[in-house]
Chain A
């Protein structure tokens, strides 16, 4: 068409389709911004956002040397040395560039829209990677897949300003450069791989995946007898530059020389030197002269290296696997030894439904793609196979690692579809099939991209001439192409449905529907955080469970004791102890930690299930791990082993600070009648709860966030519980009446005194 040559036409088509995919992958991530507002979601992104503001306002050097006094209250946090600065620096640079070009844009907008922007880059990177594996048609299809696959969208919607947003782009692009380096044996691409690896290391802890996968690839190639000088050039350039550069990130430090996670890369580097040297010697001796020496040397050196590694690990020079990585191998490890890792919901094993929910069609095509790759098995295909195998395993162990599986699933599925289509679309003129599939694909916006990808693959294949055979008649082709087109359209619909319904809700505002279908926004979190920001002293210390640490410092700008960076387990356990012990014990803890306010999340009034009573068991477990004398998980269960909050709850449960703070005055909501907890689906005992060591100072509209102020010690040195019962006993005795004001709740009564 348009009188262009075939090559330029296909080039233009590719550019157009890639542009459309980029636009699509950005726009499909904007649901949450369009529906709610342009805010940062979730928990971790709030910390990233706060540090980015620090970077933008105070410059890079202050950011690197920043000591954060608002978190981990008595201890503080050295942010520069405990953070992956990649995402902040990336956002800061984009902000600076835009402002330099006179587009004055607030840093929040840059942070909100960073992940969608990088997801379009990811699509392009996937295109490049798949083009190396097969051809550009498969590349376009892979780009389209990864642009809309919910498994990736879940961590990269607008507002999700998290490390994964840019890390997946870096992962895919690093792998693309690596493949390019292996194919060409070029030191340039090896160095580029290392540079992007450096960026990846600065952005995400998942860089360990790269440092282990690339050596695994090299090792597999050596074992398959596919060693070439190209392999040496690409890997050793990558390794040496990548390792030195990764040690520049303060959080990584000397780990590449001292921890087990990085030893595979070092070992393969050593092995490759030996192999190369042996090849060099071999080139000067005749083959049969050398054979014995070759195998003797290589296995000897290899065993020596392995033995040295084991000896160093046992001797303590090399740190063993950290708990987070070790729990990937021994899946029961975290639950027993490190409850704080097991307590995070995204560290659970993946149910099979979520594979289909996140990847739908791709999950089915994935094995087919792997099969086709096995058939051809070039050097780069070995890489995809290893990536697919390891990522599948890790995604099965941990929900969160679904994210690293998604790119390879997209690549393999694209290869499967392209291979399937090109068998049926090549060799003959198939006008019917082409027009039909294209026409079927055009109606809606989202479908055009797939249609185009299909079209290009058809167009490219059409040029190859050949004889017509029985099965390859046009109706047989139609019978294959139409269903493929149909399932692709179906996939696109599924993706936008999942994105719209499951992954586009900012967790800081809760959306619900009124009976008439209109939206009702529950904005209790920001209400409470803003109250803290406006109505408390600047130096006030807030105690809450660690989940809310980042949000409190981010939105309230107040000091917290623990936050989502769970680097100090003992400190978290202390907070867990304060939450789960009786008031007298907790009061001592809170006084020692200089706590001014305690914040609890309570969803019983509105049915918000992620509240602190549901997380309470983890607080108890984490607390018990450090203070086994003070806390016993057993005491929170009824004799029948049930975790209850109603009138059968154990005395320990009822006396715990968390229980008291959550259900304080709760029955007032029901006019003094039986209080009903809509999360636990139980009746809460009517007896009013008396708080002696804390005062309720704020409860949000829907009772989700409750803030209590810690009382000052008693003026004449009594314990606070004694002080609070002092007046009451006397009054009751004097009047000689049962309490009639029970309905008014504890607060009123104390005011009367």
Chain B
């Protein structure tokens, strides 16, 4: 790592932390610059869904798993929504166009279908 980045940041090359910080900074700029607006919207949704999952998980750690099926249903809904939205993001991402061979409309219909199925099961499992 040190060798590859040394050309761009000669002075902080010795410090690993600085490297990491640099990488993350670079990642963020690249993300801001290269991501279409639509994908950023999905990412915001992903972030929100992830937060709901984390909140539920922390609550379970604090309060215990007594209605275990309710926890699993709620947490599963969070994970499921996250995953399905991530699917949608991959399918509509222009970078993946040659791998996915799928129109954005079809991808959205798939997303809607899978979500309906997921929430059908989740509501049944909620108890």
Q: How far is the CB of A257 from chain B (nearest CB, A)?
A: 7
A232-264 with Cβ < 8 A to chain B: 232-233, 236-237, 240-241, 243-245, 247-248, 254, 257
B48-100 with Cβ < 8 A to chain A: 68-69, 72-73, 76, 79-80, 83-84, 86-88, 90-91, 93, 95-96, 99-100
Among candidates A188, A240, A289, residue contacting B83 with C-beta atoms closer than 8 Å: A240
CB <8 Å contact, B1 and A292:
yes
List chain A residues, Cβ under 8 A from B124: 248
Among candidates A232, A248, A285, A288, residue contacting B87 with C-beta atoms closer than 8 Å: A232
CB within 8 Å for A233 and B90 given contacts A244-B72, A247-B72: yes
CB within 8 Å for A187 and B111 given contacts A240-B76, A289-B23: yes
A269-327 with Cβ < 8 A to chain B: 276, 281, 283-285, 288-289, 292-293
Residues of B within 8 A of A (CB-CB), count: 42
CB <8 Å contact, B83 and A244:
no
CB <8 Å contact, B114 and A190:
yes
Prevailing SS type, chain A contact patch: helix
Q: How far is the CB of B21 from chain A (nearest CB, A)?
A: 14
List chain B residues, Cβ under 8 A from A188: 109-110, 113-114
CB <8 Å contact, B114 and A244:
no
List chain B residues, Cβ under 8 A from A247: 69, 72, 125
CB <8 Å contact, B91 and A233:
yes
Asked if B4 CB lies within 8 Å of chain A CBs, one says yes
Which residue among A194, A257, A284, A285 has the maximum number of chain B CB atoms within 10 Å of its CB?
A284
Asked if B34 CB lies within 8 Å of chain A CBs, one says yes
CB within 8 Å for A187 and B125 given contacts A229-B90, A240-B118: no
Instruction: State in angstroms the CA–CA spacing of A245 and B121 once bound together.
Output: 6
Asked if A337 CB lies within 8 Å of chain B CBs, one says no
CB <8 Å contact, B23 and A187:
no
Instruction: State in angstroms the CA–CA spacing of A288 and B125 once bound together.
Output: 46
CB <8 Å contact, B72 and A281:
no
Instruction: State in angstroms the CA–CA spacing of A195 and B109 once bound together.
Output: 17
Query: Which residue on chain B has the smallest CB distance to residue A292?
Result: B1
Instruction: State in angstroms the CA–CA spacing of A198 and B124 once bound together.
Output: 13
Q: How far is the CB of A279 from chain B (nearest CB, A)?
A: 9
Interface size class of A (residues with CB under 8 A): 35 or more
List chain A residues, Cβ under 8 A from B76: 240, 243-244
CB within 8 Å for A237 and B27 given contacts A232-B90, A247-B125: no
Which residue among B1, B5, B93 has the maximum number of chain A CB atoms within 10 Å of its CB?
B1
Instruction: State in angstroms the CA–CA spacing of A728 and B108 once bound together.
Output: 90
Which residue among B88, B93, B121 has the maximum number of chain A CB atoms within 10 Å of its CB?
B121
CB <8 Å contact, B31 and A229:
no
Asked if A65 CB lies within 8 Å of chain B CBs, one says no
CB within 8 Å for A241 and B114 given contacts A230-B100, A232-B87, A248-B121: yes
CB within 8 Å for A244 and B80 given contacts A186-B110, A230-B99, A233-B91: yes
Asked if A191 CB lies within 8 Å of chain B CBs, one says yes
Q: How far is the CB of A611 from chain B (nearest CB, A)?
A: 47
Asked if A228 CB lies within 8 Å of chain B CBs, one says yes
Instruction: State in angstroms the CA–CA spacing of A465 and B127 once bound together.
Output: 63
Prevailing SS type, chain B contact patch: helix
List chain A residues, Cβ under 8 A from B118: 191, 240-241, 244
Asked if B102 CB lies within 8 Å of chain A CBs, one says yes
A198-244 with Cβ < 8 A to chain B: 198, 228-230, 232-233, 236-237, 240-241, 243-244
B1-49 with Cβ < 8 A to chain A: 1, 4-5, 23, 26-27, 30-31, 34
List chain B residues, Cβ under 8 A from A245: 121
CB <8 Å contact, B79 and A240:
yes
List chain A residues, Cβ under 8 A from B109: 188
List chain B residues, Cβ under 8 A from A233: 87, 90-91
CB <8 Å contact, A236 and B87:
yes
List chain B residues, Cβ under 8 A from A187: 84, 87-88, 91, 107, 110-111, 113-114
List chain A residues, Cβ under 8 A from B114: 187-188, 190-191, 237, 241
Among candidates B5, B95, B122, residue contacting A244 with C-beta atoms closer than 8 Å: B122
CB within 8 Å for A284 and B31 given contacts A228-B99, A240-B76, A240-B79: yes
Asked if A185 CB lies within 8 Å of chain B CBs, one says yes
CB <8 Å contact, B110 and A229:
no
Among candidates A191, A283, A293, residue contacting B117 with C-beta atoms closer than 8 Å: A191
Which residue among B76, B83, B93 has the maximum number of chain A CB atoms within 10 Å of its CB?
B83
Among candidates A194, A237, A276, A289, residue contacting B5 with C-beta atoms closer than 8 Å: A289
Instruction: State in angstroms the CA–CA spacing of A240 and B114 once bound together.
Output: 10
Q: How far is the CB of A239 from chain B (nearest CB, A)?
A: 8
Instruction: State in angstroms the CA–CA spacing of A198 and B118 once bound together.
Output: 12
CB <8 Å contact, B117 and A195:
yes
Q: How far is the CB of A136 from chain B (nearest CB, A)?
A: 21
List chain B residues, Cβ under 8 A from A285: 23, 26-27, 30
List chain A residues, Cβ under 8 A from B23: 285, 289, 293
Among candidates B4, B91, B117, residue contacting A288 with C-beta atoms closer than 8 Å: B4
List chain B residues, Cβ under 8 A from A184: 101-102
CB <8 Å contact, A237 and B87:
yes
CB <8 Å contact, A281 and B27:
yes
CB <8 Å contact, A191 and B91:
no
CB within 8 Å for A244 and B73 given contacts A236-B83, A237-B114: yes
Instruction: State in angstroms the CA–CA spacing of A323 and B111 once bound together.
Output: 40
Per-position 1/0 for A30-54, Cβ under 8 A of B: 0000000000000000000000000
Which residue among B69, B80, B110, B118 has the maximum number of chain A CB atoms within 10 Å of its CB?
B110
Query: Which residue on chain B has the smallest CB distance to residue A190?
Result: B114
List chain B residues, Cβ under 8 A from A190: 87, 114
Q: How far is the CB of B98 from chain A (nearest CB, A)?
A: 10
Instruction: State in angstroms the CA–CA spacing of A230 and B23 once bound together.
Output: 28
List chain A residues, Cβ under 8 A from B113: 187-188, 191
Using a CB–CB distance below 8 Å, which chain B residues touch chain A?
Answer: 1, 4-5, 23, 26-27, 30-31, 34, 68-69, 72-73, 76, 79-80, 83-84, 86-88, 90-91, 93, 95-96, 99-102, 107, 109-111, 113-114, 117-118, 121-122, 124-125
14 further contact pairs, Cβ within 8 A, besides A185-B99, A232-B90: A191-B114, A198-B121, A228-B99, A229-B90, A229-B96, A236-B83, A236-B87, A241-B121, A284-B34, A285-B26, A285-B27, A289-B4, A293-B1, A293-B23
The 10 closest A-B CB pairs, nearest first, are: A187-B110, A229-B90, A284-B30, A191-B114, A240-B80, A236-B83, A233-B87, A188-B110, A187-B114, A245-B121
A-B contact pairs, 8 of them (CB 8 A): A185-B102, A229-B99, A230-B99, A233-B90, A240-B80, A244-B72, A245-B121, A284-B34
